[in-house]
Amino acid sequence: MSLLTPDPGLVFWMSLSFGIVVLILARFAFPVIIKAVDKRTLFIENSVKSAREANEELSKIKETGARILAKAYKEQNAILKETARIKEEILKEAHAKASQETERMIAEARKQLQVEKEQILRSIRGEVSLMSVTLAEKILREKLGKDKEQLKMIDRLLDEIEISKS
């Protein structure tokens, strides 16, 4: 027997045992293997289908998120613009109120100054009048220190009173 040329009996028995193994495998093992492969194929197809659906769902969610984000940015800009407008209005109102208050305070201060000025002038006039009377009294005492001069003055004043009555 040589290694390169097999015996016809060996070939027969090898063929027969190979045929039996193939029949047993075809009857019992192949259906289970095919079922498992089909099941695995179905699982993979379903997984791919689910992955596609999830991918589509994810893209829809991304689009929705982008729309929501864009809408939020628009609302944010609108709110910021409104806030800036309100701020300007408040500043203008505050400035106007401050101007009015300043003008009112200035007017009150002017009135107060006028009142104080009038009081001071009255006080000065009173003091000047008092000083004038005091000075006149001193001058009259000095000039009318003598009885003769007092009588002359009285006569002259009486003459003036009579003239003014007539």
CA angle 118/119/120 to nearest 5° reads: 90
- The domain containing residue 135 runs over which residues? 8-165
How many domains does the chain contain in total? 1
Q: Does residue 115 lie within any of the structural domains?
A: yes
Q: Does residue 106 lie within any of the structural domains?
A: yes
**Greatest CA separation for the chain:** 196
pTM of the model as a whole = 0.41
The whole-number pLDDT of residue 145 equals: 66
Burial class (CB in 10 A: 0-12, 13-18, 19+), 144: middle
- Cβ–Cβ under 8 Å, residues 11 and 5: no
User: According to DSSP H, which parts of 7-29 are helical?
Assistant: 8-24
Dist. CA 155–CA 136, nearest whole Å: 19
The whole-number pLDDT of residue 3 equals: 65
List C-alpha distances in Å: 22 to 38, 90, 98, 159.
21, 95, 106, 174
Q: Does residue 125 lie within any of the structural domains?
A: yes
Regions of the chain where pLDDT drops below 70: 1-3, 144-145, 166
Q: What is the DSSP letter of 5?
A: S
Q: Does residue 1 lie within any of the structural domains?
A: no
Dist. CA 96–CA 90, nearest whole Å: 10
The whole-number pLDDT of residue 27 equals: 92
CA angle 150/153/154 to nearest 5° reads: 85
Q: Does residue 26 lie within any of the structural domains?
A: yes
